Amino acid sequence: MFDSFGRLLHRRRKPLLVLTLLFAVLSGAYGAGVFGSLTPLGFQDPGSDSRHAEKIAEKAFPQRTPDAVIVYRDEDRTVDDPSFQQAVVQQVESLPKADVTGYLHFWQTKMPAQVSHDRHATYVALNLHGNSEKAKEDSYKAIKDQIPAPGLETLQGGTVPTGYQAGEKIEHDLRHAEIISAPVLFLFLLVVFGGLVAAGLPLVVGVLSILGSMAVLRVISNITDVSVFAMSLVTILGLAVAIDYGLLIVSRYREELERGYTGEAALGRTIATAGRTVVISGTTVAAALAGLTLFPSTFLKSMSYGGVAAVVLSVLFSLVALPAVLAVLGPKVNAFPLRRRKKAVRPTVAGEGAWYRFGHGVMRRRGVVLVGAVGLLLTLALPFSKIEFGSINAQQLPSSSEGRQVFNTMERDFDGDAVKSIDSLLVLKSDATSKEQGAALQAYAERLGATEGAKTARITGAEGTTARVSVTFDGNAISTHARDLVNRLKDVPEPPGAHAYFGGESAVYDDTLDALGETLPWMLLYIAVMTYILLFLAFGSVLLPLKAIAMNLLSLSATFGVLVWIFQDGHLNGLLGFDPTGNIEPNMPIMLFALIFGLSMDYEVFLVSRMREQYDQLNDSTEAVATGLQSIGRLVVSAALLMCVPLAAIGMSDVLTMKLFGVGMVFAVLVDVLVVRILLGSAVMKLMGRAAWWAPGPLARFYTRYGIKEGDVPADTDKPVPVGV
């Protein structure tokens, strides 16, 4: 089937190229507006009690949950100066009521907490129009230039401005990463291919994938919320995976040309071998990323949307657009060589090639390699045992951003008011201001205040049939201590006929971890089952998928250990340029798990599929490993290094979550390919011997009929003619 598809592509190459060009223009024009359609954060579970509490508070007590916090400061005047007051009040009151639904300043509330310790600064709490993060951001964008007060230093922070600033910074950093990555990738591809034409083809696939993915994300954002962080995955994954797949297709096509095949035969054999590998690899990565849709948070769902789109389009363009270009070029794919090409040699004779000898060397020392590799991975994984989870806030931004400066100023110069509290939002059976309900609420507040870990509890709002009781406590709002307190407060009996929803940063943190913990086992089961099925179809073995999954867990544990050591503990923060927060946002490890798991299987399929092809020819497991490494080892290492280029570029971002993503992915890819797949994988394959390829009779027959293996190339009736003869 794949061979026939490749031949069809050859015959329809010109119409396909026209369609590809049309797609690039249309998707580029439409997808260019994707950033304006994305939501700023999306880390919270939208169906949680804390989110419900937030909605109740926004409706009944909007002044309690400000969307923006604006700090006004004057080095000479204090808030007691009438001119300071006039400048702030006039500016705030002039803001359009269509965008600002409410505001609170010190001269209204007389709250000491709204004045800095030195009395030279104050903050104003703004509430913005809109019933979603995106709508509130639109309101903020409409007024952000009208907020600064004449003669005063003005800093804009809080939830909505910080999210907007993060989106702006991410867009800037992604463009910067693309500008850095493109020329470096092209130089690397020149080294790999040794020719200008061949080097440019994988980049074309990458550009097409990014353009298409941006258009897909914009379409999805018109249906549901999509986090701005999805763009980082689309840009980087689209470029990296597309280049890997393009590298595999172009390399195999050139190999078929050097064997003497031309025209339809060369392209058909390329699609029947490398094309099949790309399909199974892309399906494995997409399946792993699709598991993120099981989670409730917009962030993880968005990463799934963007990642699956990038991978699927990379596969599509690698199997349609790229072969059409190759069909047009033919032998001219080798045009403009930078060095004299050597004729390819099939590694079927013992002793041929450095990778062949390296493979045998690893297998002879399999015991030492196994103990050393596993020991190294487990050592790197040790810090993972002490991971501390936290939440995303302004600390993700660089110290130069206004949102981060507001966060630091509030922490340093102001006394915290009830912002750091756990709020019980009560839906009552009657008017909250009635005498009966008032007594019941007071009794409830006393019960909350008497809870272990609580400092004070008081009624901070009563409106209609809604009331709020705020509980203060000592310590960090994002901590195990605070989370335990939230759960103890939830066990306190409510007033008769009332229902309590708990909100505040600590409650959000507790609900987020609960939601992730409940869904994680299902995602792990889904990924394990899907991976096993796909790898069985690729390899025809019941043991190799188990080996691949076990090695993946080792690789992932090592990666998470290193991320904790760097980003939680603060090692290398000077070198990498970030301020450690002492914790890891809990959505990030889950997103990285799905992505790294899928990409690890990508390289597993690249390597073991070629080994399976060799095993089918040689019927010798040891020789299959060695000759398979000789055939594709250099290509796999090259693909890993190429993937690390855009990942390293995104690791230079000033946004902490993006830096963690880039650094984590670079480490994961290098360790997985160099240590896990090549060293540990070869040693384990030698220990398994022929059992590596074993399957029970019924499954073996199923694989023979339906398996997706590189060596399954139909007999070619075209007589090979050496290129250039």
Of the chain, the end-to-end C-alpha distance in Å amounts to 30
Neighbours of 574 (CB within 10 A): 8
CB-neighbour burial class of residue 498 (10 A; exposed 0-12, middle 13-18, buried 19+): buried
- The fraction of the chain above a pLDDT of 90, given in percent, is 50
The identity of residue 663, as a single letter, is V
Q: Confirm if 256 and 296 have CB atoms less than 8 A apart.
A: no
Q: Confirm if 157 and 394 have CB atoms less than 8 A apart.
A: yes
Least confident span in 411-420, 627-636, 671-680 = 411-420
CA 240, CA 234: separation in Å to the nearest integer?
10
pLDDT per residue over 201-245, tens digit each?
999 998 899 899 999 999 998 888 888 778 877 887 888 888 889
Neighbours of 96 (CB within 10 A): 11
- Given this model, what pLDDT does residue 421 score? 82
Pairwise pLDDT comparison (325 vs 277), residue with the higher score: 325
Least confident span in 165-174, 529-538, 674-683 = 165-174
- Given this model, what pLDDT does residue 346 score? 47
CA 153, CA 413: separation in Å to the nearest integer?
15
The secondary structure of residue 294, as a DSSP letter, is G
Query: Is pLDDT of 724 > 60?
Result: no
- Given this model, what pLDDT does residue 341 score? 56
Query: Is pLDDT of 714 > 60?
Result: no
Q: Confirm if 95 and 505 have CB atoms less than 8 A apart.
A: no
Residues 6+ apart with CB under 8 A from 268: 2, 3, 4, 6, 7, 10, 716
- Given this model, what pLDDT does residue 613 score? 81
- Given this model, what pLDDT does residue 313 score? 93
Query: Is pLDDT of 458 > 50?
Result: yes
- The fraction of the chain above a pLDDT of 70, given in percent, is 94
CA 706, CA 702: separation in Å to the nearest integer?
6
- Given this model, what pLDDT does residue 110 score? 87
- Given this model, what pLDDT does residue 568 score? 92
Q: Confirm if 634 and 354 have CB atoms less than 8 A apart.
A: no
Q: Confirm if 475 and 395 have CB atoms less than 8 A apart.
A: no
Query: Is pLDDT of 463 > 90?
Result: no
- Given this model, what pLDDT does residue 347 score? 43
Candidates 57, 2, 72; CA nearest to 419 is 57
pLDDT per residue over 106-160, tens digit each?
998 888 889 999 999 999 999 898 877 788 889 999 999 999 999 999 999 988 9
Query: Is pLDDT of 630 > 50?
Result: yes
Report, as an integer, the average pLDDT of 299-315.
Answer: 92
Within 96-195, where are the H helices? 106-109, 133-143, 159-193
Query: Is pLDDT of 712 > 50?
Result: no
The pLDDT mean for the chain works out to 88
- Given this model, what pLDDT does residue 41 score? 66
CB-neighbour burial class of residue 352 (10 A; exposed 0-12, middle 13-18, buried 19+): middle
- For 561, list phi and psi in degrees, rounded to 5: -60, -45
The sheet with strand 456-463 has its strands ordered as: 456-463, 466-472, 422-427, 499-503
Query: Is pLDDT of 418 > 80?
Result: no
Candidates 71, 62, 148, 61; CA nearest to 115 is 71
CA 179, CA 307: separation in Å to the nearest integer?
21
CA 289, CA 658: separation in Å to the nearest integer?
18
pLDDT per residue over 173-194, tens digit each?
888 888 888 899 899 999 888 8
Report, as an integer, the average pLDDT of 642-668.
Answer: 90
The sheet with strand 153-157 has its strands ordered as: 100-104, 121-128, 68-73, 153-157
Within 414-564, where are the H helices? 435-449, 480-490, 505-539, 544-563
Report, as an integer, the average pLDDT of 41-65.
Answer: 79
| Residue with the two structure tokens 């409730």 | 296
pLDDT per residue over 331-364, tens digit each?
999 888 876 655 544 444 445 789 999 999 999 9
- Given this model, what pLDDT does residue 163 score? 86
Report, as an integer, the average pLDDT of 708-725.
Answer: 49
- Given this model, what pLDDT does residue 350 score? 47
Q: What is the pTM of this model?
A: 0.85
Q: What are the CA-CA distances from residue 128 to residues 134, 159, 663 (Å)?
A: 11, 11, 36
CA 302, CA 691: separation in Å to the nearest integer?
41
* 324: confidence class by pLDDT, cuts 50, 70, 90: very high
* 605: confidence class by pLDDT, cuts 50, 70, 90: confident
CA 25, CA 75: separation in Å to the nearest integer?
53
How crowded is the C-beta side of 437, counted as CA atoms within 13 Å?
21
Report, as an integer, the average pLDDT of 59-83.
Answer: 86
Candidates 153, 147, 149, 112; CA nearest to 126 is 147
| Residue with the two structure tokens 């080792």 | 554
